[in-house]
Amino acid sequence: MFPKAAAGYSYEDCRATADWLLAQTSLRPLVGIVCGSGLGGLAEALKDQVVFNYKDIPNFPHSTVNGHAGRLVFGTLKGKPCICMQGRFHLYEGYPVQKITLPMRIFKLLGVETVILTNAAGGLNQDYKVGDIMIIKDHINMPGFAGNNPLAGPNDERFGVRFPCMSDAYDRELQQLAQDVGAELGYSDFMREGVYCVLGGPSFETIAECRMLHKLGADAVGMSTVHEVIVARHCGMRVFAMSLITNQAVMDYDSEEKANHEEVLQTGEQRSKQLERLVSAMVTRIEHNTNYA
């Protein structure tokens, strides 16, 4: 029933995992949240929690990265049923791209309509400061240019169409909602919007690579999110994503700065309460049961 899939999982495999979860809790989540590096504190805001360790969930990969606890948390945020991934999967952990995006299909089969993704990213835009929150308005899928797209392979129409549109990947209403909620919370000074570029990692970028990405139109760079967004949109969920700028990408040969994961986690900790308030306030105001595909 729960095969060890080498690359991806079939519709039936995803259904089996979703049904296994649905049998353990009566909560039916409408919003799915993915916590980025050091941002797992978001899950603590959920009430009436039912928690699963990834290693206990059939078919689920395991978290191997510091700052990604590896727990799936069902609960409510101000009364709204949610599910939260306290930790995500990345290409550099050695998982095939179809495997790191499996949770999006599970979300869909659990009944999730809206996905909110967070990540830690390096700032390429010279106006950005460490601690800024960037609403993602678009992405550049660098591994996708080389054919590493989570939708490559046979397409199952029960999830979505063969050639999904991505020019509307990031829901504009939700971007506006984030701006409005951010302004009400007094966060406007550190809220931005921009383009996120995903790379394979795990090495951080060279100076020449950062300069190139900036010239290509990227405002922030990271190693996640985009694959999840593609799969979430393919199966018709509404998507909002944001980056916490945890470090400045090094763009200058005179700089003494060195990107490191400790700084990433530290910035996450410093901004975690504000991110939690932003996400909670957004979740309470998200409308449901509309056709978002």
Ligand X SMILES: Nc1nc2[nH]cnc2c(=O)[nH]1
37 is in an annotated binding site: yes
> Quick one: 13 or 263, whose CB is closer to ligand X?
263
User: Which one of residues 104, 121, 218, 242 is an interface residue with ligand X (CB under 6 A)?
Assistant: 121
Q: Does 204 bind ligand X (CB under 6 A)?
A: yes
Least separation, in Å, of the C-beta of 259 and ligand X? 5
45, 59, 69, 90: the active-site residue: 90
> Quick one: 51 or 259, whose CB is closer to ligand X?
259
User: Which one of residues 8, 29, 103, 122 is an interface residue with ligand X (CB under 6 A)?
Assistant: 122
92 labelled catalytic? yes
The answer to whether the beta carbons of residues 50 and 75 sit under 8 Å apart is: yes
Q: Does 261 bind ligand R1P (CB under 6 A)?
A: yes
* Window 110 to 139, contacts with ligand R1P (CB under 6 A): 119-120
Which own/partner contact pairs does 177-184 have at CB distance under 8 Å and 24+ positions apart?
Answer: 177/240, 177/282, 177/285, 177/286, 178/135, 178/240, 178/242, 178/278, 178/282, 179/135, 181/278, 181/281, 181/282, 181/285, 182/133, 182/278, 184/281
214 is in an annotated binding site: no
68 labelled catalytic? yes
Please give the residue whose beta carbon sits closest to ligand X in the complex. 122
Q: Does 238 bind ligand R1P (CB under 6 A)?
A: no
> Quick one: 18 or 65, whose CB is closer to ligand R1P?
65
Q: Among all chains, which residue has been given the structure tokens 């931005």?
A: 192
Point out which span in 73-81, 127-135, 219-227, 248-256 binds ligand R1P (CB under 6 A).
219-227
Q: Tokens for 277?
A: 């308030």
Q: Does 36 bind ligand R1P (CB under 6 A)?
A: yes
Least separation, in Å, of the C-beta of 18 and ligand R1P? 23
* Window 205 to 224, contacts with ligand X (CB under 6 A): 205, 221-223
Residue 259: which of 227, 214, 222, 216 has the closest Cα? 222
Please give the residue whose beta carbon sits closest to ligand R1P in the complex. 36
Q: Does 264 bind ligand R1P (CB under 6 A)?
A: yes
Select from ligand X, ligand R1P, none the partner in contact with residue 249, using the beta carbon and a kind-dependent cut-off of 5 to 8 Å: ligand X
120 labelled catalytic? yes
Q: Does 241 bind ligand X (CB under 6 A)?
A: no
Q: Tokens for 14?
A: 């995803």
Q: Which residues contribute to the site for ligand R1P (CB under 6 A)? A: 36-37, 65, 88, 90, 119-120, 201, 222-224, 261, 264
Q: Which residues contribute to the site for ligand X (CB under 6 A)? A: 120-122, 199, 201, 204-205, 221-223, 246-247, 249, 259, 264
